[in-house]
Amino acid sequence: MTDLEIQKEVLRMIDHYSTMRETMPGSSMYRETMYQYVDMADGKDADDGNGTNIRERYYKGYPDDFFLQVLSGLGELELYMKSRLDFGYGIP
């Protein structure tokens, strides 16, 4: 993916997840996805709880920064930072 394609996809995902959050407040699907994005922003593969590698299946080739940008655009960056601190990673 080119930088432009990544930026377009970041904006598309921010729009998609913003809509999900608005139309399904308290959705466990939204929250689970945000935690998966946190994992992938940290360079991990994320898992759906059933052994599916989320990065490999849906986001092959996406850079870690993509997930960080989506989290930031959704106002979920605090979730990312808190997760890093909770697991002893410190601040990047």
In a domain, 92, yes or no: no
> Does pTM top 0.85 for this prediction?
no
Name the pLDDT band for 80 (thresholds 50, 70, 90).
Answer: low
In a domain, 53, yes or no: yes
Give the structural domain span for 8. 3-86
| pLDDT, average across residues 11-29 | 93
In a domain, 31, yes or no: yes
Give the mean pLDDT of the chain: 87
What are the residues whose beta carbons fall under 8 Å from the beta carbon of 62, sequence distance 6 or more?
1, 6, 9, 40, 55
In a domain, 8, yes or no: yes
Total count of domains within the chain: 1
- Give the H/E segment covering residue 73: helix 64-73
In a domain, 34, yes or no: yes
In a domain, 91, yes or no: no
> What pLDDT does residue 49 have?
84
Percent of the chain with pLDDT over 90: 61
Token reading at 1: 């993916």
In a domain, 82, yes or no: yes
